[in-house]
């Protein structure tokens, strides 16, 4: 098993398109993580948290960071 097959299984891409090469997997994951970073930034800003931290967490941890930011309570100023 190659590294890109393991990563595509982890993100669920292997079940959608099983015959993908490494470059396609990396490019797809970059697009997905950039979208997750944008959603995390929006959620962090609207809930009163630091939007730069939200962006970084969304890019690194993906949908898990978005899910956590969705359930966090609004921060009181």
Rounded (5°) CA angle 76-64-62: 105
For 67, the token pair is 């899910």
Q: How far is it, in rounded angstroms, from Cα 34 to Cα 59?
A: 6
Contact 58, 45 (CB under 8 A): no
Instruction: Name the band, by pLDDT with cuts 50, 70 and 90, for residue 57.
Output: very high
With b meaning 16 or more CB within 10 Å and e meaning fewer, what string describes 32-67? ebeebbebbbbbbeeeebebeebbbbbbebbbebbe
Q: What is the pLDDT of residues 1-46, one digit of tens each?
A: 888 888 888 888 888 888 888 898 899 999 999 999 999 999 999 9
Look at the pTM and tell me if it is higher than 0.95: no
């Amino acid at each position: 098993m190659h590294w890109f097959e393991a990563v595509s299984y982890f993100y669920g891409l292997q079940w959608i398109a099983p015959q993908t090469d490494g470059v396609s997997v990396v490019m797809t994951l970059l697009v997905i993580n950039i979208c997750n970073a944008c959603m995390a930034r929006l959620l962090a800003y609207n809930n009163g948290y630091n939007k730069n931290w939200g962006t970084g967490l969304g890019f690194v941890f993906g949908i898990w960071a978005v899910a956590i930011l969705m359930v966090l309570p609004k921060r009181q100023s």
